[in-house]
Amino acid sequence: MAEPEPRQADVAAFFRDAPPRVVIEIIRRLPVKSILRLRSVCKVLRDVTSYRPLLAAVHILHPPQPLICFSLNACPDHYIPLRDYCVEALDLRSDMLRPILRFTDNEYYDFFENIEGVDAPPIYAFSKGDIKYGEEVGDGEHYPWITVHGSMDGLLLVSFINIWYICNPATRQWVALPDLSNCTVIGLYAHVSSGECRVLIYAGEDDGATRTHYYVLKVGAEQAREIERPIPPPATRGVGVLNIGLGVLSIGLDPASLSPPVQLGCNLHWPPQERQGYRMLAFDTEAEVFSWMSSPNHIREGSVQLLEMDRKLAMSVSRNGRPTLELWRLEDYHNEIWVQIYRIRIPVMHIPELHYIDWFPHVVSPEGDVLIECSSKLLLHCDRNGNLLQKFQFREETPLVRHTLKETLLPHAIFQAPKITNGDFAPPFFEGI
């Protein structure tokens, strides 16, 4: 067997002899991609440490990172109408953006805008079937090319209209799902007792006139399983006129892509929604029943998002163009007692970028970090004291901040099963990342 290169031997000796705390501090400062490279070039590292403790350290020490979704023209001169659809993670400690997913395809083509009359060359990165990219859905809006529907334990649930995947961007593993385009995805969660990864969906007219049906899809299964009456009788009392006759969930919930839930233990929690009377909804993933939870009483407008904070549920409240944000924490889960942790005020007068434009703030971390989406295609990062830390200028559109990703190198059993559904083609969104 060939002797290792001197530098590689030095690295192996260092990790063999260094105290565990030193190794942990190194891992704390390295991005996941660098750790993967380290693993690939330093075989002795995983041989000596069995590597799994290192993987666990990555999962524990790396905080969740907000995901920034945007698109831009792949060809700046517009001669060939190609578009990049991007998802990037923002490290709040270093204010560095890093690509997570990227997908290039034809954007909508208008013959009259191309004076040469030359069509863009088609891109067949995978079998598209009958996908109608850019299909109008009403009021001039079009389907997005790439949508993030959920995030859990380093996994992302993403779709391209009618093609769906669960993927781990850190390890570039993926598994295809059945087509969920005719359903509304409201949650991605871990089934604790079985270790399975599951998706919660519903189907129906979403208008209260017909019954809404709820389903659970086990990742790796071909079909979803309907859950019967998912509401215990106590949860249907006093729920308001929207739910008379057909039960508390007759009009469904907002999609997870717009209103992401948070899982704590065996329960999945949604932010208060107008269609549910501004009360929080929880789903017991073991018993497969819904129940109500209280939220701070004054929440009747604005945007509400849930976070995990010191293994407790936290709730951020923000409003369009309003300088004041709130962060609440559920201190007593059993008695549903909320306590305001931070009241954050953005000093608008001292941030010229916020003058004379529309803007929307989000609290995105338990430490009170705030990201502000601006109509001027800016994204601003402020701390909980309102200090402007960084600004990111995007070329063509205002980015969207919806989900967070806690990267992990820990193995997931779902990637060991055969990839079945949708023609068994690999997703192209890892290319070039």
Of 57, 74, 99, the last residue of a domain is 57
- Supply the range of the domain harboring residue 11: 6-57
pLDDT > 90 in the chain, percent: 33
pLDDT surpassing 50 at residue 173: yes
Does residue 232 come out as left (phi exceeding 0), alpha (psi in the -120 to 50 range) or beta?
A: beta
Distance of CA 380 to CAs 374, 375, 398, 425, Å? 8, 11, 11, 38
Paired sense of beta strands 213-218 and 196-203, if any: antiparallel
pLDDT > 70 in the chain, percent: 63
Residue 408: inside a domain: yes
Of 31, 57, 83, the last residue of a domain is 57
Residue 383 burial class via C-beta count within 10 angstroms: exposed 0-12, middle 13-18, buried 19 and up: middle
Residue 231: inside a domain: yes
Same domain, yes or no: 318 and 363: yes
Same domain, yes or no: 14 and 83: no
Residue 259: inside a domain: yes
Of residues 215, 203, 292, the one with CA closest to residue 250 = 203
Q: 52 Cβ partners below 8 Å, 6+ apart?
A: 410
Distance between CA atoms of residues 302 and 287, nearest Å: 32
Distance between CA atoms of residues 176 and 132, nearest Å: 19
Same domain, yes or no: 284 and 212: yes
Residue 431: inside a domain: no
Residue 181: inside a domain: yes
Distance between CA atoms of residues 197 and 190, nearest Å: 5
Of 57, 73, 89, the last residue of a domain is 57
Mean pLDDT estimate for the chain: 76
Of residues 350, 411, 287, 367, the one with CA closest to residue 66 = 367
More confident call, 196 vs 80: 196
Distance of CA 46 to CAs 15, 23, 251, Å? 10, 13, 51
Q: How many domains does the chain have?
A: 2
What per-residue confidence (pLDDT) applies to 103?
78
CA torsion 152-156-157-161 (nearest 10°) is 160
Same domain, yes or no: 19 and 81: no
Q: 2 Cβ partners below 8 Å, 6+ apart?
A: none
Same domain, yes or no: 313 and 328: yes
Residues 404/115, Cβ–Cβ less than 8 Å: no
More confident call, 60 vs 125: 60
Average pLDDT over residues 136-153: 65
Residues 151/405, Cβ–Cβ less than 8 Å: yes
Same domain, yes or no: 225 and 345: yes
Average pLDDT over residues 396-409: 84
What per-residue confidence (pLDDT) applies to 53?
56
Q: 116 Cβ partners below 8 Å, 6+ apart?
A: 79
- Work out the pLDDT band at 431, boundaries 50, 70, 90: low
Same domain, yes or no: 44 and 95: no
What per-residue confidence (pLDDT) applies to 198?
96
Average pLDDT over residues 155-162: 84
pLDDT digits (tens, 9 = 90+) for 37-48: 655 555 544 544
pLDDT digits (tens, 9 = 90+) for 231-272: 655 444 444 333 433 345 677 788 998 889 999 999 999 998
Residues 242/275, Cβ–Cβ less than 8 Å: yes
Residue 429: inside a domain: no
What per-residue confidence (pLDDT) applies to 142?
42
Residue 433: inside a domain: no
Same domain, yes or no: 163 and 32: no
The CATH number linked to 121 is 2.120.10
- Separation of first and last alpha carbons in the chain: 34
Same domain, yes or no: 253 and 274: yes
Tracing tokens 């409003």 back to the chain, one arrives at: 319
Same domain, yes or no: 137 and 20: no
Tell me the DSSP string of 343-365: EEE--GGG-GGGTTS-EEEEE-S
Same domain, yes or no: 51 and 69: no
Same domain, yes or no: 22 and 132: no
Residues 378/395, Cβ–Cβ less than 8 Å: no
pLDDT digits (tens, 9 = 90+) for 280-335: 899 999 999 888 888 886 666 678 899 998 889 999 998 888 899 999 999 999 99
Using a cut of 0.85, tell me whether the model's pTM lies above it.
no
What per-residue confidence (pLDDT) applies to 83?
76
Distance between CA atoms of residues 347 and 163, nearest Å: 43
What per-residue confidence (pLDDT) applies to 125?
33
Residues 269/263, Cβ–Cβ less than 8 Å: yes
* CA max distance for the chain: 76
pLDDT digits (tens, 9 = 90+) for 353-391: 999 999 999 999 999 999 999 989 999 999 999 999 999
What per-residue confidence (pLDDT) applies to 295?
84
pLDDT surpassing 70 at residue 78: no
